[in-house]
Amino acid sequence: MTEENASGPIQDEQKQYLSQVTKEAGFAFTGKVFGLLFGFVAQAIFARLLGADILGVFVLGWTIVFGVTILTTLGFELSLVRFMSKYHSSGRPREARAVFLLGVRLSVVAAAIGTVGIVLLRAPLAHGVFHEFRLERVLLWIALAVIPYSLMRILSGALRSLKDIRSFIIGFDVSHRVFRFVLFIALYYMGLRLYAIVGATIGATFLSAGLLAFFLRRRGPFLFDRTVAPAPIPKKGIVVYSTAMLTDSFLAFATQSSGRIVIGISLASADVGVYNLAAVVSLLVVLVPMSFNTIFAPVISDLYHRDRLDLLQQLFCSVTRWSIILSLPIYLWIVVAGETTLGVFAPEFVRGYDALVLLSTGLLVAVSTGPVGPFLAMTGYQKWNVYNAVALAVISVGLNVVLVPRMGIAGAGLAVGLGQALVNIARLIQVRLLLKISPYDRSSVKVGATAAIALVLAVVARLHLVIPDGVGWSFATAVAGATVVALLTIAMGVKEEDRLVLATVLRKVRRSRGGA
């Protein structure tokens, strides 16, 4: 793409797609912000009421269930986004319904098997692997969440394929956190502690699965209409694709959860609780790209199958540029005020600062490569995501095994952060070689300069300033970081498509103020 094209009037079609991605991602961002901030507050309350030790026991149990649900969805959570989107956008509802039913039926059967497996293996896992006797009973109860949480994954994939991002965000990201918090408070004040969070999680999965089913029935009634006879579909090709997505997803889970698992095996449950909180806070760095990717994935599939690589290239650059710009303030806030922020939860969590920074650094590098994972998955090169995931899992698990006994929870942060950075750099190279497109253009130099200046200022602030304790000082630091990035971005110059993104965001801000 030439500089003239990059700086001149953008095509109407590009403007239409960019507006769609920005508007939907704007809602996704708002929903995820609410969900993560609500989860942030909920984690603070969980930490204060339960402590790192009890929280760590729960995290181990939920990590096992979460991993099982990745297996039980059989990769259909992502394959629905590709195949249902393809059939639905081309006016073929019978094929779309056939894909949906295939995913639901196979996943429910697998989830039932997974539930039985957890119940049967609870004692060996609790006593032989994690040496935590409380985990045995936790697994017995929390196994009840496998089937509804598997359905949550499948139903959310179907909503994404229909581009109903609002319902997906509300049903999956927001409702589960809200339901769990409300149920936890009720159970806690009934005298429960560990089983307050366990029971609340089980109840929340059932409620959220029901809500997602309601949203999907309203958005895609043909999926539940028995008069719409499922048409023949290439089941073998869909299952092969789903298997590749399953492998990719499970390896990603192994990568992200290897820190918690190795800490649970090598250290104490309290250490699992401290590291888990650091990992939760670090996810704020990828909040913006997750929001963009949620809607951009089906757009990639749509444009690629219509052979519109020219438009896809332009959108790729725009989404990457704004993912970096909007993620950077969060990273600056973590570097400068990370200890203050962790101290909000409880003083015992402050020791997770090193792990938090190492995790966040790796995630920021991953953000800077753009949505390269969805590009490979949605364009028929999903096998490369599998290769990348295998390499990532080997690196992360291997480093965790080596580093956690020597460095503690900081070693887990380094292992996972480094793995995330390396695999996304590999994906970036693969997208360039396989698809001949890149997430960077000449304006990326300005983004890089903005990031470099902001990072230098953050390091100076970290070395020479002491941020006092308290929520207010943490928030003030976040505002200061966002202001610095905004001023640097304006000083570097704003492109036309950037003005479109900003205008959409500002309209959403004005609406939210008007409705307040």
Q: Where are the alpha helices (DSSP H) in 90-227?
A: 93-123, 134-142, 146-161, 165-168, 175-188, 194-219
Query: What is the arithmetic mean of pLDDT over 277-301?
Result: 78
2 pLDDT band, cuts 50/70/90, is very low
Q: Smallest Cα–Cα separation from 212: which of 166, 169, 155?
A: 155
Coil/strand/helix, residue 130: coil
Number of domains in the chain: 1
Residue 184 lies inside a defined structural domain of this protein = yes
Residue type, 86: K
492 pLDDT band, cuts 50/70/90, is confident
Residue type, 429: I
Residue 484 lies inside a defined structural domain of this protein = yes
CB 485 within 8 A of CB 330: no
Which residue shows structure tokens 């339960």? 50
What percent of the chain has pLDDT above 90?
44
Q: How many other CB atoms sit within 10 Å of the CB of residue 504?
A: 18
- The pLDDT score that the predictor gives to residue 3 is 40
Residue 51 has pLDDT above 90, yes or no: no
- 121-125, 367-371, 442-446: lowest mean pLDDT where? 442-446
479 pLDDT band, cuts 50/70/90, is very high
Highest mean pLDDT among 27-31, 183-187, 340-344, 390-394: 183-187
Query: What is the arithmetic mean of pLDDT over 459-484?
Result: 90
Range of the domain at 201: 10-510
Q: Smallest Cα–Cα separation from 142: which of 54, 66, 42, 236?
A: 66
CB 182 within 8 A of CB 126: no
The span from the CA of 46 to the CA of 187, in Å, is 12
Residue 467 lies inside a defined structural domain of this protein = yes
pLDDT, tens digit, for every residue of 107-133? 999 999 999 999 999 999 999 999 999
- The pLDDT score that the predictor gives to residue 272 is 93
Q: Smallest Cα–Cα separation from 290: which of 282, 71, 147, 301?
A: 282
Question: Radius of gyration of the chain from Cα atoms?
Answer: 22
- The pLDDT score that the predictor gives to residue 27 is 54
Which residue shows structure tokens 């998955």? 377
Q: What mean pLDDT is reported for the chain? A: 85
What would the two tokens of residue 215 be? 């949203």
Q: What is the DSSP letter of 230?
A: P
Mark residue 192 as left, alpha or beta (left: phi above 0; alpha: psi -120 to 50; beta: remaining).
beta
Question: The whole model's pTM is what?
Answer: 0.76
Q: What is the DSSP letter of 9?
A: P
359 pLDDT band, cuts 50/70/90, is very high
Residue 4 lies inside a defined structural domain of this protein = no
Burial state string for 170-187 with b = 16 or more CB within 10 A and e = fewer than 16: bbbbbbbbbbbbebbeeb
283 pLDDT band, cuts 50/70/90, is confident
Q: What is the DSSP letter of 467?
A: P
Query: What is the arithmetic mean of pLDDT over 494-516?
Result: 52
Residue 3 lies inside a defined structural domain of this protein = no
Q: What is the DSSP letter of 92?
A: -
444 pLDDT band, cuts 50/70/90, is confident
CB 355 within 8 A of CB 334: no
Residue 414 lies inside a defined structural domain of this protein = yes
- The pLDDT score that the predictor gives to residue 23 is 54
Residue 2 lies inside a defined structural domain of this protein = no
| Angle (nearest 5°) at CA 68 between 167 and 275 | 85
Coil/strand/helix, residue 379: coil
Which of the two residues, 434 and 40, has the higher pLDDT score? 434
Note the residue count of the chain.
516
Q: How many other CB atoms sit within 10 Å of the CB of residue 506?
A: 10
What would the two tokens of residue 313 be? 């290239």
Residue 5 lies inside a defined structural domain of this protein = no
The span from the CA of 209 to the CA of 207, in Å, is 6
Which residue shows structure tokens 């590709």? 82
The span from the CA of 223 to the CA of 218, in Å, is 10
367 pLDDT band, cuts 50/70/90, is very high
pLDDT, tens digit, for every residue of 157-173? 999 888 887 888 888 88
